[in-house]
Structure 1
Amino acid sequence: MAFASLPWARTGELDVLAPAVVPAEASGQPDRGAEVAVYADADRIALSWPGGSTSTALPAAPFPDDRVRKLLEAVIDSTVLVEADVLAGAVRRAVPYAGAHGSVTLQLHDGELRVRGSDPQAGESEESVKATIDGNPVTKTFQARYLADALRAFSGRPVELRIQDGLRSTVLTSPTGVDGMELTYLVVPLRTNP
């Protein structure tokens, strides 16, 4: 799950739940610096930019704001600050060794983040990534594709991993003040056998 707050100039009130396909389609179309206008009424949403636009009907259900906010209220066990592209590269290199479940393991250890893949058929990989770590030394295993997808959103900037105890989600967020955008991803770790 992801949650983002973007800087924008608003000319009226907007409170809608839109299908993800609309902003996803729009995000790949305009130039990175282009402005995107958002239009909505009770039934439809539209986004337009120089040279294009997209629109769709709105779902009838309201945004589950309270439940999402509770998921974002994390009780942090450890915090890791790392360059997103560096960590994403290490995850990508571990994928060939991610096994049948496509899982990679992150282990916090003495100022570095170890990224491991292990598969009895393909072999093992381990790579250390320089990181700033605060908290307990923990080990978490994730589905590589979900972790890689979350890290892609932070490309070109640092990312903070807020790791919770047990199987509670790890919160990925950008440090405050980067690009005026607040972006948060939740990635749930996999249950591993003791």
Structure 2
Amino acid sequence: MKVKMSRKDLLSGIQRVQGVVERRNTMPILTHILLEAEGQKLAFFATDLEVGIQGAYAAEVLEPGRATVSARKLHEIVREFPEGLVTITAQPNHWVVIESGKSYFRIVGLPPEEFPVSPSIQHEEQIRINPTLLSGLIQRTLFATGENNPQYILNGILIQLEKSATEEGTIRFITTDGHRLAVAEGKVSGTWKEREAGIILPKKAVLEIKRALDDGDEAGEPQLFIGENQLIYRWGTFVITSRLMEGEFPNYKQAVPEHNDKKVTTQKEELEGGLRRVSILAREKTSAIKFSLESGGIVLSASNPEMGEANETLETHFEGEGFSTGFNARYLLDALAALKGDEVTLEFKDALSPCLIREESEGFLTVIMPMRV
């Protein structure tokens, strides 16, 4: 293999796939990127066996072929090159030469045959989705996903698909870490099977899809292909494959409170500011703040025996019997950041019940469990 391409495109290709590469892995081949030169493109492929990423960039292919090279070392080398052409040459015994200007690097690779085979994209179930919609669904639910949660399945995102009488259907993203819940939905088109339980994607795959959407400038709409045990995201020449998680996701409908008749509406920016200020003196481990509803509005307060106390009143209209409860300030701030509007309505039943926030025009709702303060 011998190929020439711009340093800019080469660096972009490495950066877009190396997110799944584990620096320490029991399988050395998984610390490498597979490079494949064919036609007028150089393709990149990296995987950790759960999530795989592929991308292709324009290049001058002098000799087609394949090679593997350490993802970390290749990135460090190319990052330090000045702008210009970079030449990559595969040599006998899996050595790889990288040249740019007067710089010359010769690093050892591994047999390309050892690299895992990229999965086929031939699946009957195909979904077309607007990139802005998909990015929004992820952004509005990712915050409630578990992080190394002992309940393994809570570290994933549940995706439900519903058919309608027309070609359009509904896609719904659901996340929970046991303390909060987020649900966002939108319209999609395509062909898929009805799955009552939905499919569950690992958080790592969703993060990579979000990064690809933020960085991507491909033409057309992204496509999702669903197989028996995997999901494939494709947008132009960029492909992400992910294994589906196995297990039963909690029934989110049971966590959405009903009859929350105590409602208070306030400016989102004012509430965010108040929460950030008061939480400065909250206990660091829990970020617990006291949330009181009174006739004059909302009173936020925090007390820390080692630091002191803080309180702030947000003037707003509230009718009914007041009460006090407690929340993790960070959880409330995460939920508010997912809202698009300038106003927010918080719905309560009593001091021991969850807080419900919804933005029906955007197909979004979130539930936050109270805590002792």
TM-score, normalised relative to structure 2: 0.44
In structure 2, what is the Cα distance between the partners aligned to 1:120 and 1:163?
A: 29
Instruction: Decide which of 337, 340, 351 is 1:152's aligned counterpart.
Output: 337
SS at match of 2:372: coil
1:8-47 to 2 correspondences below 5 Å: 8-13=187-192, 15-31=198-214, 36-47=222-233
Instruction: Please give the per-residue CA displacement for 1:33-74, whole angstroms capped at 9, x wherever unaligned.
Output: x8543332221123345685533211122443xx31121142
**Bigger mean CA offset, 47-56 vs 82-91:** 47-56
8 Å contact 1:77–1:136 — kept in the other structure? no
Instruction: Please give the per-residue CA displacement for 1:57-100, whole angstroms capped at 9, x wherever unaligned.
Output: 11122443xx3112114231511222333212211111211135
8 Å contact 1:105–1:142 — kept in the other structure? yes
In structure 2, what is the Cα distance between the partners aligned to 1:53 and 1:90?
A: 42
2:256 aligns with 72
Instruction: Please give the per-residue CA displacement for 1:170-191, whole angstroms capped at 9, x wherever unaligned.
Output: 11222x32xxx22222211112
What letter corresponds to residue 336 of structure 2 in structure 1? L
TM-score, normalised relative to structure 1: 0.78
1:136 aligns with 321
Change (3 A) 1:62 1:129: same
Two-structure CA RMSD over aligned residues (Å): 2.8
Change (3 A) 1:128 1:16: same
In structure 1, what is the Cα distance between the partners aligned to 2:204 and 2:319?
A: 37
2:282 aligns with 98
What letter corresponds to residue 122 of structure 1 in structure 2? M
In structure 1, what is the Cα distance between the partners aligned to 2:294 and 2:322?
A: 6
Instruction: State yes or no: 1:56 paired with 2:255.
Output: no
Structure 2: stretches of 5+ with no match in the other structure: 1-175
What letter corresponds to residue 186 of structure 2 in structure 1? P
What letter corresponds to residue 365 of structure 2 in structure 1? T
1:5 aligns with 184
What is the CA-CA distance between 1:20 and the residue it aligns to?
A: 3.4
Instruction: State yes or no: 1:122 paired with 2:122.
Output: no
- Percent identity between the two aligned chains: 21
Relative contact order higher in (CA < 8 Å, ≥ 6 apart): 1
Instruction: State yes or no: 1:186 paired with 2:367.
Output: yes
In structure 1, what is the Cα distance between the partners aligned to 2:297 and 2:191?
A: 47
Greater helix share, structure number = 2
What letter corresponds to residue 81 of structure 1 in structure 2? T
8 Å contact 2:182–2:366 — kept in the other structure? yes
What letter corresponds to residue 244 of structure 2 in structure 1? L
SS at match of 1:147: helix
